[in-house]
Structure 1
Amino acid sequence: MKCIVVHRTLKETFISVVENDRLVEVFIEPVDNQSIVGNVYAGVVENVLPGMQAAFVDIGLEKNAYLYIEDIVSKAVLSEVREKDTKLNIQDYIKQGQPLMVQIKKAPVDKKGARVTLDITLPGRYLVVMPHNEYIGISKRITNPEERERLRRLAEEMLHDGRGIVIRTVAENIEEEKLRKDYDKLNDVWEEIQAGYQKNKGQKSLIRGDVDFATRVFRDVIKQDVDRITVMHKETFHVLKDYIERFIPEARGKIFYMEPGTFHEFDVLEMLRKALKRKAWLDNGGYLIIDKTEALTVIDVNTGKYTGKKDLEETAYNTNLLAAKEVARQIRLRNMGGIIVVDFIDMKKEEHRFNLVKLLEEETAKDSMKVQVMGITKLGLVELTRKKAKRSLSSLLEKTCPICQGKGKVLAEENILRLIAYRAIEVASTLASSTIYIRMSPSVYEYLMHHEPDYFDLLEKQYDKKIVIQKDKTLAYDEFYVDGEK
């Protein structure tokens, strides 16, 4: 059974994907810091850097955006340049003071501005339209030759004016009418963008923002194989319900609104705590040890308490099969990116080694990000690569430990406050008491007082409860107490 849980707290929207009572994927976005990736802006070239083959573009944000040469020319031109082994000169394409329409490709990070592109892409439920790129692409996950040919013919019929199209995985076996409607809607969006740009040409301003976070996740990640969608925020519920009515009508009976305070129904918080631990247990008593370094992520497979019933080969094989499934889940859940090396338990039989790699490929195919399994070495090492598209779960929720000076990690104060808020909502929703008492460690208390003094104000207003916050020196750094009684 596959369930989606959408929860919005005082500070962020939190979307969890639960499969067979196991958390497999998490999406988090702060309410007051929504992603700008996908937004389209009118901008002006501030200066051109021939030595870097890049330019700075002022789009009205705090920092100028970066525009690289490969984000200016089309894929066809880039391909031709590579074939002829020639070089491009950015000064042949843009000049200082030139007005441009650009789209955010990568969000600003630290002191670096956003990365932008001239190759605008407009994602829909089933299709992605590229107004400036004459190209037809079909998701590699659609493997049926007849279906690929059907979709290609349809794309050729729909395209005009030098536009391109990418057909997404969820378009497989979808009727032509729905695909055409999606395409027509995206064309309408493009017309609106062009009109907006003409009005703002030469200025530095937002022309069109992407859809809200929850809708974006459903559009880009969630497929039709969902059994239940639970939303614990009324406004978000109505937005998603409207989206499902228009794009996934077969799922209209699967979305439900649930009052806040029942988040524990899926025990997602406990699953999230486990997802941040170094050790992940297997069902047979074996376990994984997961270590992240600057260069790669290493996962070590151990038999642990499992001793098997026959011989060492069977014990290793059975543990490795369980580990392959758990490795695929942990990669999605923790949002690992880049190079991943898994040290499976040594096996002698070639058949066992083949089956292990095949299972790992099948399990990682469920991932919305592209995962490539490189094969297994004689020592039982399997190398994988996974596309980096967003921050890892650890980087979102943890910080370097001030106690061990970076040798380990703990939850950041703001995320301990998040857990406290979840618990406070449960208490406020279920207890009749007019006062909620919260005790927390000195470190978290000092953080609250200095950085988030009004953190619980909205909760007080929403539930008409008085919240009393106390510093408790007896509590460990990440411990807290929330109840309707002292």
Structure 2
Amino acid sequence: MTDSRGGKTAANNELLVNASAGEIRVAILEQGQFTELYIERESDRSVTGTVVLGRVSRVLPGMQAAFVEIGLEKAAFLYVGDYLDENGGGEAEEPRGRRRGRNGRQPPKIETLLKAGQEIVVQVAKDPIGTKGARITSHISIAGRHLVLTPWSQRVGVSRRIDSDRERRRLRDAVSRCRPKDLGFIIRTAGQGTSNADLESDVRYLTQVWDDVQIRKGQVRAPAPLYTELSLALRVIRDFANAQTKRIVVDDPESFKAMQDFLSRFVADPKPVLERYDGDAPIFDHFGIELQIDSNLGRKVWLKSGGYLIIDQSEALTAIDVNTGRYVGRANLEETVLKTNLEAVTEVVHQLRFRNIGGLIIIDLIDMETADNRDKVYRALREALRSDKSKTNILKISELGLVEMTRKRTRENLVQQLCEPCSYCEGRGYVLSAESVAYKVLREVRKDLRRFCGRRIAVTVHPQVAEILLGPARKAVASLGDALGREIEVRARPGQHQEQFELTALDTGPPVALEFPWLQDWRKPEPAAKTADEPAAKTADEPAAKTADEPAAKTADEPAAK
């Protein structure tokens, strides 16, 4: 069996639903392979698909965009091409650049369409990601089981994945007969083969949803939600269950009951089998999913042949590097490279889907000598992408062996959902080496040599830094001690951050004359006199020459206090 794009479809797909207090996880298995993971938490639910009555906060003519308050922490971003008023004005199809609208004309200027304080109905197209606010559009679309409501279009469309012209005409005629004339609908791929009665039921349901939106719009003040999406457990049935779904397995009794009710009300026959899991082991452990989640989050992904991928995600793009690793081949180098690249592109697509990686993606393949081999790998990549529901755009393999592609991003990727920046390195991915910190400490002491001269001081550092100071850098420590006239004591403190160190004076020394310009008479500049409350010398337990407001601890990135 093949889908409308020519790719093979799974005949035994399974959907596993793990529902617990505060979190729902859904794993999609295609022909026994774990391909996608969806997570929804009560404290951080996705807002994609939410219809909101928003208020325009700023109009930016220079960007042809506006910021709209929709009730989230950050204002949402609305591009002029994503806006049309309720009468159909201001519509444009492409979201970026100087593009023309669907009517073939240049879209109007944003400042002629919107003004600060104006209330508009919008829908969240992309969740807030990182430092960016949500992306919104006024092209409203509310999904049902078989249809998608498009209230501003006032026409009936059919999914491109439905190939049969006869079926397309039947579906369009059936929906056209029963729809309100002021509402538009798109028939989803799941609507193929659906009876007219089921289509009419979907039309009634979506029409009622839109009527409720209109009623609520007149009752609330912006910003306020008008329609929210179903929970993840129910969206699984609506969006992922199809004729190729063998069964849906859920472990929570309440979710099982809600899904059972949804199936009976909105899903046409043949319905997917819904099973309740009540085993002793957690459902994801029973099906071997939990271990795969942990292993697939790593930076390195091994291929079956012995090669591996390195996946680096950044704010700008995702870079994927292909390496032969332990695979050495049998015949010649070009064949080894070709086989590794062919296996790699299949795994790359699997990782893109599993991790939900979007945006700009660069794949660094192993260099291939012949154009024929590059074409083989390119075709294999395109074929593998047929199973991906997200919209992708891919360019030919360059002479350098690079593939540039984009993948539509609507929500945070899996790493962003499950992980957080490292608190030790503050998300940098590295810390200064122990040797670098050791010599940084010595430079800071030498910088303040005048204050410490003649006094015995102690340096408190991370144990690994102490090893450097007492080992490879001991001559530098001794030389600095000679300059001070006293020995420097090195102390190791377990648990201290590797980049942090402390300098402490262990005894008193001779008074040091210091100038404080802010205490001088501006008319006759001269050294400021000491106040009566200021001690002439520090005690042995005080850090040397520190001000009252200055902390004793310093990191290696901070200059020594003067």
Common fold: TM-score over 0.5: yes
Q: For 1:210, which of 218, 224, 229 is the aligned residue?
A: 229
Q: How much has 1:103 moved relative to structure 2?
A: 3.3
SS in 2 for 1:399: coil
**Can you list the C-alpha shifts for 1:51-77, whole angstroms capped at 9, x where unaligned?**
665556565666665555444314874
Q: 1:95 to 1:201 in 2, by over 3 A?
A: farther
Q: Confirm or deny: 8 A CA contact 2:260 2:274 kept in the other structure.
A: no
Percent of residue pairs bearing the same amino acid type: 35
Counterparts of 2:196 and 2:376, CA distance in 1: 38
Partner of 1:480: none
Partner of 2:423: 402
* AA matched with 1:338: G
Partner of 2:148: 128
* AA matched with 1:229: I
Q: For 2:49, which of 14, 28, 38 is the aligned residue?
A: 38
Partner of 2:473: none
SS in 1 for 2:353: helix
RMSD between superposed Cα atoms in Å: 3.4
* AA matched with 1:182: D
Q: For 1:104, which of 91, 110, 124 is the aligned residue?
A: 124
Q: How much has 1:87 moved relative to structure 2?
A: 3.6
Partner of 2:256: 237
SS in 2 for 1:3: strand
1:265 aligns with 2:250: no
* AA matched with 2:420: K
Range with greater deviation from structure 2 (53-62 or 36-45): 53-62
Partner of 1:15: 26
Q: For 1:374, which of 389, 395, 401 is the aligned residue?
A: 395
Q: 1:308 to 1:50 in 2, by over 3 A?
A: closer
Partner of 2:214: 194
SS in 2 for 1:375: coil
Q: How much has 1:213 moved relative to structure 2?
A: 2.1
SS in 2 for 1:400: coil
More helix by share: 1
Q: 1:221 to 1:20 in 2, by over 3 A?
A: closer
Q: 1:357 to 1:89 in 2, by over 3 A?
A: closer
Q: 1:348 to 1:181 in 2, by over 3 A?
A: farther
Q: 1:50 to 1:352 in 2, by over 3 A?
A: closer
Q: Confirm or deny: 8 A CA contact 1:233 1:259 kept in the other structure.
A: no
Q: Confirm or deny: 8 A CA contact 2:127 2:411 kept in the other structure.
A: no
Counterparts of 2:68 and 2:246, CA distance in 1: 45
Q: 1:29 to 1:55 in 2, by over 3 A?
A: same
* AA matched with 1:72: Y
Q: 1:99 to 1:377 in 2, by over 3 A?
A: closer
Partner of 1:296: 317
SS in 1 for 2:388: coil
Counterparts of 1:284 and 1:110, CA distance in 2: 36
Counterparts of 1:396 and 1:286, CA distance in 2: 28
Which consecutive unaligned segments of at least 5 residues does structure 1 have? 410-472, 475-486
TM-score (structure 2 length as normaliser): 0.63
Higher relative contact order (CA 8 A, sep 6+): 1
Q: Confirm or deny: 8 A CA contact 1:353 1:376 kept in the other structure.
A: yes
SS in 1 for 2:245: coil
SS in 2 for 1:258: coil
Q: How much has 1:156 moved relative to structure 2?
A: 4.6
Which consecutive unaligned segments of at least 5 residues does structure 2 have? 1-11, 93-99, 431-493, 496-562
- After superposition, where does 1:347-362 map in structure 2 within 5 Å? 347-362=368-383
Instruction: Report the number of matched residues.
Output: 409
Partner of 2:404: 383
Partner of 2:558: none
* AA matched with 1:170: A
Q: Confirm or deny: 8 A CA contact 1:128 1:166 kept in the other structure.
A: yes
**Can you list the C-alpha shifts for 1:136-194, whole angstroms capped at 9, x where unaligned?**
44434445555545545555545543432233233344444433332232112112222
Counterparts of 2:317 and 2:290, CA distance in 1: 27
Q: Confirm or deny: 8 A CA contact 2:26 2:37 kept in the other structure.
A: yes
Counterparts of 2:358 and 2:130, CA distance in 1: 19
Q: 1:310 to 1:99 in 2, by over 3 A?
A: closer
